[in-house]
Each structure stands twice: as structure tokens, then as C-alpha cells.
Amino acid sequence: MGPEWIAIIALVALFVAGTVLPINMGALAYVAAWFVGVFALHMDEKEVLGGISADLVLTLIGVTYLFSIAKNNGTVDLIVSKAIQAVGGRVALIPWVMFAVTALLTAMGAASPAACAIIGPVALGFARRYKINPLMMGMFVVHGAQGGGFSPISIYGTITNSVMSDVGYEGTEMAVFVASLAINTAMAVILFLALGGRQLMQERVDPAEASEAASHVVDDLHTGGTSVTASGQGAGVSTTTRGTGVRRDHVLTLVAFAAVATTALAFDMNIGFVSITAAVVLAMLSPQQHKDAVKQIAWPTVLLVAGVSTYATILTAAGSPEYIGNWAAGLGIAAIGALVLCYVGGIASAFASSTALLPVIIPIAVPLIAGGGVSPWAMAAALAVSSTIVDVSPFSTNGALMLANRPDTISEQAYYKQILNYAIIVTLVGPLLVWGILVLPGW
């Protein structure tokens, strides 16, 4: 058996183990990297550890540290509350506010499950209060998280852009972000039209009632919350948040986020260094308030990405990406190979971690890109969106969070079936839709 097959089999094994068992997939990836690298490829242990991307790890730490401060000082609650109150009495706009706020949070650097955990209870609470279809509301939150999830300063975006840079293709950041936002918005439009959105457009409530309801929902989150374990990552995501009220901390935090985005994008500075600098400055201004913020950094995600990126290097050393990529390219038409990879990413991600899959699936497409049949940004965007749009699945953390926070107007079994059926449709049709929009036209 060749080394490329040994590495592929080990990859499948670690994904299966990480999905079935409550073990962080990054830890499993380190074990697989050590065994395959040292014993199958005869690599030195320092060579195995050389696959860790210090830049990527620092970025994950920096952006999640900054977001944890924003959550602690109530800036996130302020955004949620003001956005909900802005709809006034227009019930049909409430799902779109949930979509937009969740997208904003992930675009600012929140992990997708964290954003869903914060907004999910709020959204589904409004679904119960105003008789909005709970499936529509829950999936709006998930699609919103995925829509904003590929901004250049987000976790997904950072991973995708780092991997593309490592394989020699840069300048795809905004194209991937816009593609993800556009496709997830399109999915939300379809849901809105199919699940009663047009009827909601005729409904109005007293704006004062909507504002009062917003305050009650946020206050409820302040006094308690739920925690759902992220499958395969061993991470708990808490929905507990703080009360609202505009303060100096809120203004400084919003300025910090704007400064990070401007500095990183306009001046091409390292996002990790910029984010952690902003977080440290905010922590220094309120040291007692943020003394525990460092504990809320997404350490399970850091371990996950560090381990999987290390194993991705082992895959490359074994020649696995080239092997699979050349096989896909050998199908005769590059677009067909791209479609196959989109389905591989989508189906695998429906049951496993999207964060773990991205560093592995993108390098596989390099032979297709190198052959000139598919543009780098289109292939990166297609794989990124195909691998994350399926996170509506109840087997993923995001889908599970929606199920855990279902309104009492629907039974758990009925809501589970609704989410599962929708996830099956998205998994079967989503990669084809993404491929048809991004790859087939030959942009």
C-alpha cells in the first residue's frame, strides 16, 4: 500500500473517530500525524511539527480573544438588542435581523457555533412569540452564521485564506466572502418564501411591544443559558450573555473591531497581531472586568485547527492531495472533478467538523486549479461554501443548537425531523447549486 493511501485511510479514521466519540479532532489529528509521519513516511518529529501554522493559530487566538471581550462587556448584547428594536412592528423583518446579526458576529471573528449559541435562543424565542415558523427562524440563524463566516477576519475566512496562500494562490479573500454571503442569503430568501414569509409581511405589532420583547429576551439570556457540546471538538458553547445599555466599553469595543478590520485589510497587517493587540488594549482599560476573557478563547478550535493543519502537511508529504486531485482532474473535464470535490466536502462536513475539513479539502483541488480548468477563487469559494452550507444538519453543532433551543410550540421529535429533512435537501442539492453558480460558468 502506497503512502498516499495510508495517509488517506488515517484521515478517514480520525474523522470517523472525531464524529462518533467526544474527542477533539485536533488531538486525534496529532496522533495520526505522528504515526503516519514518523512510522510510515519516516519523517523526523520536528518535520511533523513543522506543519503547524503559527500565523493561523495566532489569528484564531486573537480574534476569539477580542470577541470574548466584546461578549463580556455587553457589546454583543447591545448589537442584538438594537437590531431587534429596529424592526419596530414589522414581524417579517425579525428573521432577517437574526440573519444579519449572526452574520455580523461571525464576520467580526466569532466562531460559528458561538454566534449560533448567542442568537439562536433570541431568534427562536421570537418565533414562539410571533408565530414565525421555527424551522425558518432556526435555519436563518445558521445560514447567517455561514454567510458572514468567511470575512477576511473571521475564523473560516482565516483558515481558507491561509490554506490558499500556503498552496500558492492569494487574493481570493473577498471573493470567497462575497460568494458565501450571497449563496447563504439566497438560501434564506428561499426559506422565507417557502415557509410563510409572505404572510408575515402582512402582520404588524406595536413597536413598543417589540422593544419590550427584545429587552425580555436579552434579560432572559443574561440570567441563564444553555450549553451544547460541539460534536467531535469537546467544546461547550454557552448562551449566557450580559445586559445592555450603551457605555464607554461598547464604543471602545466597536472602534476596536473597526480598527482591526481597517488595519488588517487596508494596510495588509497580520490579522492575528492586530486582533490580539486590540484585545490587550481593551483588557488594559478594564483589567478586572476582562481578567477571565483569556479563558474564553476558543481553545478547542485552536487545538482542532493546529492538529488538522499539521496532519494536512503529512497528507501533502505523502502525496495524497496530488493523488486525489489528479484523479479528479483525470475525469476529463475539470468542472466535473470540481463537482465531485464539492460533494465530498459537503457530505463529509454534514457529519464532521467544517473547521477541520477546510485545511484538508482545499489542497486537494490544487491540480484542478493548476490545470487551468477552474479559477482559484471559484474553486476555493465552491469548496468553502459546499463544506459549510451543510452545517444546518442536526448532527452539526449549529443544527444541534437550534434543536436544543426549539420553542415550545413544536415537539423535539417534530423539529428534529424538520431540520433533518432540510439538511438532507441541502446536502444533496447544495453542492450542485454552489458548483453551478461558481464553477460551471468558468468565471
Closest CA to 398 of 62, 84, 146: 146
Q: Is there a domain that residue 41 lies in?
A: yes
Closest CA to 388 of 45, 128, 142, 114: 142
Locate 41 and state its grid cell. 513516511
Task: Share the mean pLDDT of the chain.
Answer: 84
Closest CA to 64 of 306, 358, 271, 312: 271
Q: Is there a domain that residue 250 lies in?
A: yes
Which residues, other chains included, contact 66 with Cβ-Cβ below 8 Å and sequence gap of 6+? 109, 256, 257, 260, 275, 276, 278, 279, 282
Mean pLDDT is lowest, of 81-85, 168-172, 204-208, 422-426, for 204-208
Q: Is there a domain that residue 173 lies in?
A: yes
Closest CA to 80 of 108, 52, 54, 44: 108
Q: What confidence tier does 233 reach under pLDDT thresholds 50, 70, 90?
A: very low
Compute the Cα dihedral for 241, 244, 246, 247 and give only its sign.
negative
Locate 127 and state its grid cell. 418565533
Closest CA to 131 of 230, 205, 80: 205
d(CA 428, CA 432): 8
To the nearest whole percent, how much of the chain has pLDDT over 90? Answer: 35
Rounded alpha-carbon distances, angstroms, from residue 74 to 70, 173, 248: 6, 30, 11
Which residues, other chains included, contact 9 with Cβ-Cβ below 8 Å and sequence gap of 6+? none
Amino acid (one-letter) located at 385:
V
Tell me which of 247 and 40 has the higher pLDDT. Answer: 40
| 246-299 residue pLDDT tens | 688 999 999 998 898 888 877 878 888 998 999 999 999 999 889 889 998 878
330 backbone dihedrals φ, ψ, rounded to 5°:
-75, -5
Tell me which of 232 and 136 has the higher pLDDT. Answer: 136
Q: Is there a domain that residue 443 lies in?
A: no
Are the beta carbons of 290 and 249 closer than 8 angstroms? no
pTM score, whole prediction: 0.77
The full DSSP string for 188-254 is: HHHHHHHTTHHHHTT-B--HHHHHHHHHHHHHHHHH---EEEETTTTEEEE---------HHHHHHH
- CB atoms under 10 Å from CB of 14, counted, come to 26
Are the beta carbons of 368 and 338 closer than 8 angstroms? yes
Q: What is the pLDDT of residue 359?
A: 86
DSSP assigned state of 23: S
Exposure of 412 by Cβ count < 10 A (0-12 exposed, 13-18 middle, 19+ buried)?
Answer: exposed
Q: Name the residue range of residue 372's domain.
A: 3-438
Q: Is there a domain that residue 418 lies in?
A: yes
To the nearest whole percent, how much of the chain has pLDDT over 70? Answer: 89
| 323-347 residue pLDDT tens | 877 787 677 677 888 898 999 888 8
State the total domains in the chain. Answer: 1
Rounded alpha-carbon distances, angstroms, from residue 94 to 123, 148, 200, 340: 8, 18, 10, 37
- pLDDT over 80 at 154, yes or no: yes
- pLDDT over 70 at 14, yes or no: yes
Q: How many residues does the chain have?
A: 443
Q: What is the pLDDT of residue 139?
A: 97
Rounded alpha-carbon distances, angstroms, from residue 281 to 4, 270, 290: 47, 17, 11
Which residues, other chains included, contact 357 with Cβ-Cβ below 8 Å and sequence gap of 6+? 345, 348, 349, 387
d(CA 342, CA 349): 11
Question: Average pLDDT of 37-47?
Answer: 92
Q: Is there a domain that residue 428 lies in?
A: yes
